[in-house]
Structure 1
Amino acid sequence: MGGQFRPELGGHFGRFFQYTVSTDEKKEFIQIIRKSGERLIDTVTDLVEISKLDSGLLSENAMPVNLESEFYDFFHDERAKFKDSAVQFYSSIAPELLEKTFSFDLHKVLKVLHILIGNAFKFTVNGSVEVSVIGEKNNLVFSVADTGIGIAPQYHKFVFKAFSQIEPGKGKLCEGIGLGLTIAKKLTKRMKGKIWFESEVAKGTTFYLSIPQKIVSANTKMNLSAQSSEQKNILIVEDDGAYYHLLENFLKTEGLGVTRAINGKEAIDLIKHNPVFDLIIMDSKMPVMNGTEAIQEILKITHQIPIVSHSAYTLHQEQEEILKKERISFLPKPANKEELLRVIWKQINEKTEIDKGIYTSPKVIVTKRI
């Protein structure tokens, strides 16, 4: 059910960004609508996530990961929420881990950390939130420490229980949607990891995520590439007009060229006659030809164009097999602007290095943005 209306909500609420607002009152109302829309989308997304986890539909998707390159962008995006607050955000990775390439499910780890950082920010009024990554025996240990309100001991047993939240200012649990930490625990279990916390009222809380440390390479050569000033061309394959215009707005404000196809067949025709696109954003459920079929046909034509499969629906086995191929990634729908651009630039930078013949690790994408 969530896949039916999440894109619709994302498109309609996103369209408010496209209009110039002339008065402070209108700006305030639009801000309220935007925030309410984001919360509604987050709620639906959490409910769908819980459903997928409970039904066993989320499979393990381990991939080689260079911590410095992948987490540089992630920390940069997370830091943005602290910009106008009195809370400082710090992040660190143990130096001995930087030159190694590990194998783990990056999407699940980032999802868990995003939840933990969001909670830390929510319950910290002053002070700091610090994220760190260390190696401990045969595990990678991620921690998120805050100087917030803390959790009273009698409520510790409820922390990972669904529909329970901490009431700001009281350090106790109250009823609410409260699915974030439940999702974090279920995702951790799927990765065969552990999640736990330490907390003291009025002093703060530290959450820990530990996953098995699987080293792929200890000496991965990295090539750092900045975003090119040359305009890049993106093909958006999307049948929903409202959501397409939202994506178009996101990309054009970054100086990216945009072309649209409304189904997979149109996309294939465009690529056959004019294969100059730097990246394809592919919706999954479309009339005439769906995204999975289109990707299969595109790969028969060329392997040179990175593809981002962008869907609000649960992945089925055929889609998961396609996503195991190089240069194809998955991004849940709807995506916020920062998340979308992070994925796009990583894929484009990889393509640029391959074209120049300087890309040395076919599975590790390395980007550096100032």
Structure 2
Amino acid sequence: MSEAKLRAVVIGCRMGLNHAKAVASLSEFELAGLCDLNAETARDAAAQTGGSAAIYTDFTLMLQELQPDVVIIATPTGSHARLTIMAAEAGVKAVYCEKPMAVNMGDSRKMMEVCEANDTLLIIGHQRRMSAPFMTMRRLIQEGAIGKPRLLRATCAGDFLSDGTHSVDILLSLTGDEKVKWVLASMFRQDVEPGLPDQYDYAIFTGRRYGHAVESGMMVTLEFENGLRAEFLTGDARLPGSDYQDIEAIGDQGRLWRAGDSANPQLQIQDAQAGGFRAAELDAPDDFNDGLPGVFRQLAISMQTGAPHPLAASTAINVMEVVMAAYESARLGRRIELPLNQDRFPLEIMLEGAVTAP
């Protein structure tokens, strides 16, 4: 490893505070700058990460003055594409962009095109696939611990774009990123009371979140090229009483179940042994199994050696396609075969009153 530190900056210092703390904890990085529309938010983040990072409210100015190696984007989803493209065109070597990648496929593809044209490594924050429970699930499935997989299942609160993107990425990772053949979905959306703010509220449905429209609940089924099926229940359609990111793999000889973020144990297995579910021993590489620090540690390795990163945009674009195909299926009322031929966000088209295929 080179002794030269990688200069990193963070934009979006509320959610980005955790990212800033992770970078500041690693010897491979120098946390050079923090940017937020609210200068006080950036200053608070600086105070919690050593106090040496420069404070900005202007992203362009920060890029010009600091010339960072790495940009970390933790802003609302609607700004992801614009900020990623700005960073790549400014000559940044790598961009970490929070999930979901963008609001639509057109923007997602543009992000990849611009980053590739400028030799900028782009990774997307689907870090759950790097966590011990899901890496262990993937290994056990591959080893045949539950026989032949028949169904993968995920349920969580939130909208399908913001939270379902984690569920989709997790289930794709459990298959070794098997290609998806088709997607079939149904969704519902409550009426929005007039005069509500353009923001998300857990108590009141405002119809928007992170700069884009959202639904109330969604049910999704997909089939992989190998015939395996997956099901998703999100938002108000989720299983009652389920925890966030409740994930299950069902085989012809057993089941693996991760009953959500607060579950203890984090992973259970049911197989030929008597007694029902029992705890499964977790394993994962040390460099991966510590959340965001592991993501950024691996980013430094990828930048210095050219090794592929587990959160590469080339993988995340497949997640975006499934998510957008689900909305397109709900819009058109039919099964969507991949690849998806829709660059826009189908929910926005629905809200505009469009009912015909593009």
Give the TM-score normalised by the residue count of structure 1.
0.23
Give the TM-score normalised by the residue count of structure 2.
0.24
Identify the structure with the greater helix proportion: 1
